[in-house]
Structure 1
Amino acid sequence: MNVHGKIDTPDANEAKTALETLRAWAALADPVEVARLDPAIARLLPGHAVANYPDLSRQFDPDFKVDEAYKASLPDLQNGPASLIVGAKTRIEHVGISNFRLPVRFRTRDNGDLTLEASITGTVSLEAEKKGINMSRVMRSFYSHAEESFSFEVMEAALDDYLDDLESFDARLMMRFSFPVKRPSLRSGLEGWQYYDIALELIDMGGARTKVIHLDYVYSSTCPCSLELSEHARATRGQLATPHSQRSVARISAVVEPGECLWFEDLIELARAAVPTETQVMVKREDEQAFAELNAANPIFVEDAVRVFAQRLLAEPRIGDFRVLASHQESLHSHDAVAVLTEGQTFGSASLDPQLFASLVHRG
């Protein structure tokens, strides 16, 4: 039996002597022998690498060409067997890419063309026994149609491509962009560009397809109660008072009925007809006065807002199911007044996204 006594902690001089001894031995020893003792010893020798670590090139080779044989040798973990799945082996409803950008050409209602920067989200379903998807295929499918004037039909062609490539059952494609419309001022005759946040969404669930247009409409909401209280102060006490109003945002999501064409401009005009107090672009004094009069003629609670939007949507035969979200970002309160109204099954949900109303902002 070997009995080891307590080893005293060496001081700096003893450690230095031991290091010199180790270096002297390692400098003369076989590299394999050094590695067997401890590969880290090689790092103590000037100009030496760890013996069992490969000598890799650190220079990028711009002339290296990939041939088919080399490409076939590349590992592809996402298309690996189910045994590589990490976590629960369950179906994933949506997996893909979000917010890849490219210029997209759109046709306008007056037969013009607009090229706009679009943010694209493309996803597919993933069955429980599949490890993953090759996400670049979503982009490649979309790029193959990038030179066309976009419509729901072109989106369907892109979606068909990556559904086939990825061998999925369900898929979703969304394009977000800011759509410009020239708007006149109320009285001065000036004009300016109003920008509308719009998203086109194409959903394929088991072969059944749904086309949705989302529009953010920004308007001023004057509180009807505050308006009456202000008038009461004027009438009974001769007291000048102003009602509170605030910038407000409605997000209208409308399913386009099969075979119908709903232009962006059509949905914008529908929203403006429902709530005419849209925020203004070019304003002189006469326009500001006119806007005050327009607000006084159209005071509106958030409950009123979603209902008047719904009234117009229900009367439009090209629109099926819809949802209206509204947020009146109160100037009186330190909180917002919000409402949600849905028609049909497409947008029905027992739960709300925690950030749903926080997304109803005008970015300017």
Structure 2
Amino acid sequence: MATDDGPFTTGHLDWVGMDEIAMPLRLDDAADALAIPARVRAAVNLAKPSARGIHMSRLYLHVDRVLTAEPLSQRSLRHLLGEFLESHARLSDHALLRASFPLMLRRAALRSRHSGWRNYPVTVEGVLERGQFTARLSVEVAYSSTCPASAALARQEIQDAFLRDFPSGQPLDHDAVRAWLGSHRGICATPHSQRSVAQVQARLAESVQGLPLVEMIDRVERALATPVQGAVKREDEQAFALLNGANLMFCEDAARRVQAALDADDNIADFHVRVSHLESLHAHDAVAEASKGIAGGY
């Protein structure tokens, strides 16, 4: 309970509340999504300089009642934040709720009839400031990246090996060349590839009613074209190798692909993207960032 009793330092506080609240969430934007318990942050500011001891129990009860009763959406977020402020009248004019959880989606294999589960770390944040509501989504998408420079060097090595084994001026035997291509000599060098991560933070347009998490993840994966896989049979692995070969990417290329995809999404008013290629050649990561207007980002 807020109190003015006793000597203490005064001042406005940006946020006061609770973090790491264990809370189950309901999602309604995808039939194949599993609702998984989330970790929630609930907070209000203290606009009254002398106030202390906010009503944390009220925040918790509001979170429990709203998030367990209706699906997480812009509507439910705004309603919940309004209740935060109503319960802290004359103390606060800003309210925040942030929920972080793993979104589990079943994904079809590339060629076989199998499917497997993928885990996408997600954060949903809502802020209500003097009547102005803002919703942000953050997702992480894992994908594979093959280095274009390394691919070029590998091709050069294979060309040189071919010229050594099949000198210029001599007739070529089709069967011999085919056998050579299927041997270790035909792939004497390989480009380096690595698991990579795209972190996207987006501010939703005011016209958006729901939380288009799956739609945003799908858009990012289509732009990158090489998302990591769940269920993988031999034919799926071969298809994945073809996708990597057709989508050679520096981190700059990956960041621009995601940037273009988000720019084309009317549901997104603003965004920041960071891609990290967890290098298999170097002991450090290759990183690129792009934004529409969100400063700082990650």
TM over 0.5: yes
Query: Does the C-alpha gap of structure 1 residues 305 and 149 become closer, same or farther in structure 2, counting only changes over 3 Å?
Result: same
Q: CA deviation at 1:114?
A: 4.6
1:256 maps to 2:178: no
Report the identity percentage: 34
Structure having the higher Rg: 1
- Classify the secondary structure of the residue corresponding to 1:159: helix
1:295 is displaced (CA, Å) by 0.6
Q: Residue 316 in 1 paired to residue 237 in 2?
A: no
Q: 1:339 is matched with which residue?
A: 288
> Which residue does 1:42 correspond to in 2?
none
Separation in structure 2 between the aligned mates of residue 102 and residue 194 of structure 1, nearest angstrom: 22
Q: Could you tell me whether the CA contact under 8 Å between 1:85 and 1:131 is conserved in 2?
A: no
Partner of 1:200: 124
Q: Which residue of 95, 109, 131 corresponds with 2:52?
A: 131
Residue 267 of structure 1 aligns with which residue? 216
Q: Is the 8 A contact 1:109 1:263 kept in 2?
A: no
Q: Report the RMSD for the aligned CA atoms in angstroms.
A: 1.9
The answer to whether structure 1 residue 164 and structure 2 residue 86 are counterparts is yes
Matching residue of 2:175: none
**1:82 positional shift:** 6.6
SS of equivalent residue, structure 2 residue 242:
helix
Contact 2:33 / 2:106 at 8 angstroms: preserved in 1?
no
User: Structure 1 pair 272/113, CA: closer, same or farther in 2 (3 Å)?
Assistant: closer
| Map of 2:35 onto structure 1 | 115
Letter in 2 for 1:160: G
1:284 to 222, 233, 249: 233
- What residue number does 1:56 align with? none
TM-score by length of 1: 0.70
Q: Secondary structure at the match of 2:135?
A: strand
Aligned partners of 1:84 and 1:286: how far apart in 2?
Answer: 72
Residue 173 in structure 1 maps to residue 94 in structure 2: no
In 1: Cα distance, 2:115 partner to 2:134 partner: 36
Over 3 Å counting, the alpha-carbon distance change for 1:300 and 1:113 in structure 2 is closer
- Identify if the C-alpha distance between structure 1 residues 138 and 330 changes in structure 2 by more than 3 Å, giving closer, same or farther: same
d(CA) in 1 for partners of 2:58 and 2:288? 39
With a CA cutoff of 8 Å and minimum separation of 6, indicate the structure with the bigger relative contact order: 2
Amino acid at match of 2:40: I
Offset of residue 117 of structure 1 = 1.0
Contact 2:78–2:133 at 8 Å: present in 1 too? no
Match of 1:152 in 2: 74
- Structure 1 position 195, deviation (Å): 1.7
CA deviation string 1:71-91 (max 9, x = no partner) = xxxxx6xx22175435xx332
Distance of 1:188 and 1:198 partners within structure 2: 28
Structure 1 position 302 matched with structure 2 position 226: no
SS of residue paired to 1:166: coil
Deviation at 1:153, TM superposition (A): 0.8
Q: Which residue of 1 aligns with 2:173?
A: none
The AA in structure 2 aligned to 1:181 is L
Quick check: 1:137–1:166 contact (8 Å CA) kept in 2? no
1:188 is displaced (CA, Å) by 2.0
2:157 maps to 233
Q: Does the 8 A contact of 1:200 with 1:212 survive in 2?
A: yes
Match of 1:246 among 194, 197, 214: 194
Q: In structure 2, what is the equivalent of residue 92 of structure 1? A: 13
4+ long deviations beyond 6 Å: none
- Structure 2's unaligned 5+ residue stretches are 163-184
Aligned residue among 141, 156, 163 for 2:62 = 141
- Post-superposition Cα deviations, 1:196-224, rounded to whole Å, max 9, x if no partner, equal 11111111223211111111111011111
TM-score, length basis structure 2: 0.84
Residues 315-344 of structure 1 show CA distances to partners (whole Å, capped at 9, x for unaligned) of 111211111011111111101111221112
SS of the counterpart of 2:21?
strand
